[in-house]
A and B are shown apart, each in its own frame.
Chain A
């Protein structure tokens, strides 16, 4: 009897578990429903390792062809998906109600995007990338070629299958474990405007790479060369939407994920390329499983009290606290860092203090209100590579001393007190002398 009930319980759990995975909880920011657009369904099998790794992390993938007439991202004003993967580089026009504006609106509303292009990239895909801040090479027949840093394979090709290990230094984006093996790449180049602070080059080409047509002779010097060529970039928008743009669809393919890598000219041979670790870690970052911060409970109070006052007086002592949590993929963990700062701001910062943490996500600072009155703001601005940006502010007025809050006898005024009292004494003595002199 006991084993039978246990058996039924087990079956129940097995059948319910997928639904538990699929439930979307607004308190957990990891994306759940992902729409994957493909050029043809053979990509489902040629990139199965990547898709299976996404599915194993509780992501609900829906595969559709890019010209499917029933495509739509939203219905009745609500978005049907949390993220979009565009593995359809040669699509000139999306089916259904999807177009460039719809994709950009999807990203603008805070949702994530993974875009992969390759040498067959259409103008639509390149325009989506340009809207996100990344410029692909305008020459549609150009590919990234590197005659020094290419992968040695069985056939001596045109050096367009290149090897790169120039990663961005960020534990949030690429994970804490260092990617030992270099990454194989075959596709087109893009460049990133260095004035744009929201776009980051995650994988850059080596200094000997350039973007040109591998089949024809090079007539003019190529426009994109060296480390200015970005192979994979990410954009973290101000509303914390995360976009990944890669110039190669093969970067995600099973073939490159499983191949051994040997860079031309070097003796190191890696039996597995770094592609799998690279795409897995980046997809974790893009889908908000890592590097997602939230700040709650911004509180301030006067020293010695327990409630937030409605107004401070100049030269008050106050304590400021905020809690910052980081999403670990499953639950909120306390975020530990030593460079979170708070400003007491009115037109310019009067007080700037680094918050100290107790290790459990609570950040504290105490300082004295400056000798200026007005309407101030507590501002916490935290922008770090790979983490969501925090911009918190809380307004509070500061009043000057009330009439009876000054010291009773002001030290600098003692001479004046003394003068008036001596004048009174002088008047008294004078009147005696005046009256009684003979």
Chain B
């Protein structure tokens, strides 16, 4: 009983510490996190749809999932480069990171439009 109580307590304590740590992050990083969450959620919806209906226009499915996953990956890269606590990208101006992000997204969406059929 003591062990159960302690594991529940541990989970609670972990969750609370995560929440308090997260609350400190800057707003723009939280926006990026929200965007990543939205992209992954859209990808999941598409996978569930394919599992029910079947993969008939498989190229369209791949294109849709790739657009979601691709933007998620690019947004994560942007977050890494913009985050001030990251020592590796200390000298990279955030504008440069954002410009890279926009360019890559353009290319990604061009490919998506082509492959969508």
Partner-binding segment picked from A186-194, A287-295, A418-426: A418-426
The answer to whether A420 and B57 have CB atoms under 8 Å apart is: no
Contact partner of B31 among A417, A422, A433, CB < 8 A?
A433
Contact partner of B38 among A412, A413, A417, A426, CB < 8 A?
A426
Cβ of B53 within 8 Å of any chain A Cβ, yes or no, is yes
Closest to A416 in B: B64
A382 to chain B, nearest CB (A): 41
Mostly helix, strand, loop or mixed at chain A's interface? helix
The answer to whether B46 and A419 have CB atoms under 8 Å apart is: yes
The answer to whether A413 and B57 have CB atoms under 8 Å apart is: yes
Chain A residues whose C-beta falls within 8 Å of the C-beta of B116 in the assembled complex:
413, 416-417, 420
Chain A residues whose C-beta falls within 8 Å of the C-beta of B83 in the assembled complex:
none
Contacts A416-B46, A420-B112 given; does A426 touch B71 at CB 8 Å:
yes
Contact partner of B35 among A415, A417, A424, A430, CB < 8 A?
A430
The answer to whether A416 and B63 have CB atoms under 8 Å apart is: yes
**Interface size bracket, A side:** 10 to 19
Q: How far is the CA of A423 from the CA of B64 in the complex (A)?
A: 9
- The digit string for A387-420, where 1 denotes a CB below 8 A from any CB of B, is 0000000000000000000000010110111011
The answer to whether B31 and A430 have CB atoms under 8 Å apart is: yes
Cβ of A431 within 8 Å of any chain B Cβ, yes or no, is yes
Chain A residues whose C-beta falls within 8 Å of the C-beta of B68 in the assembled complex:
419, 423
Chain B residues whose C-beta falls within 8 Å of the C-beta of A435 in the assembled complex:
98
The answer to whether A423 and B98 have CB atoms under 8 Å apart is: no
Cβ of A427 within 8 Å of any chain B Cβ, yes or no, is yes
**Interface size bracket, B side:** 20 to 34
Chain A residues whose C-beta falls within 8 Å of the C-beta of B67 in the assembled complex:
419-420, 423-424
Q: How far is the CA of A427 from the CA of B117 in the complex (A)?
A: 21
The answer to whether B39 and A423 have CB atoms under 8 Å apart is: yes
Chain A residues whose C-beta falls within 8 Å of the C-beta of B102 in the assembled complex:
431
Within B63-84, the residues touching A (CB, 8 Å) are 63-65, 67-68, 71, 75
Residue among A410, A412, A415, A423 having the largest count of chain B Cβ atoms under 10 Å: A423
The answer to whether A434 and B71 have CB atoms under 8 Å apart is: no
The answer to whether A437 and B64 have CB atoms under 8 Å apart is: no
Chain B residues whose C-beta falls within 8 Å of the C-beta of A430 in the assembled complex:
31-32, 35, 75
A400 to chain B, nearest CB (A): 14
Within B27-63, the residues touching A (CB, 8 Å) are 27-28, 31-32, 35, 38-39, 42-43, 45-46, 49, 53-54, 56-57, 60-61, 63
B109 to chain A, nearest CB (A): 6
The answer to whether A420 and B28 have CB atoms under 8 Å apart is: no
Within A238-280, the residues touching B (CB, 8 Å) are none
Chain A residues whose C-beta falls within 8 Å of the C-beta of B49 in the assembled complex:
415
The answer to whether A419 and B45 have CB atoms under 8 Å apart is: yes
Contacts A426-B71, A427-B71, A437-B27 given; does A420 touch B53 at CB 8 Å:
no
Additional A-B contact list (8), CB under 8 Å, known A416-B63, A419-B65 = A416-B57, A416-B61, A419-B43, A420-B113, A420-B116, A423-B71, A426-B38, A430-B35
A-contacting residues of B (Cβ < 8 Å)? 27-28, 31-32, 35, 38-39, 42-43, 45-46, 49, 53-54, 56-57, 60-61, 63-65, 67-68, 71, 75, 98, 101-102, 105, 109, 112-113, 116-117
Q: List 21 A-B contacts (CB under 8 A).
A: A412-B57, A413-B61, A413-B117, A415-B64, A419-B45, A419-B46, A419-B67, A420-B64, A420-B112, A420-B113, A423-B39, A423-B109, A423-B112, A424-B67, A426-B39, A426-B71, A427-B71, A434-B31, A434-B98, A437-B27, A437-B28
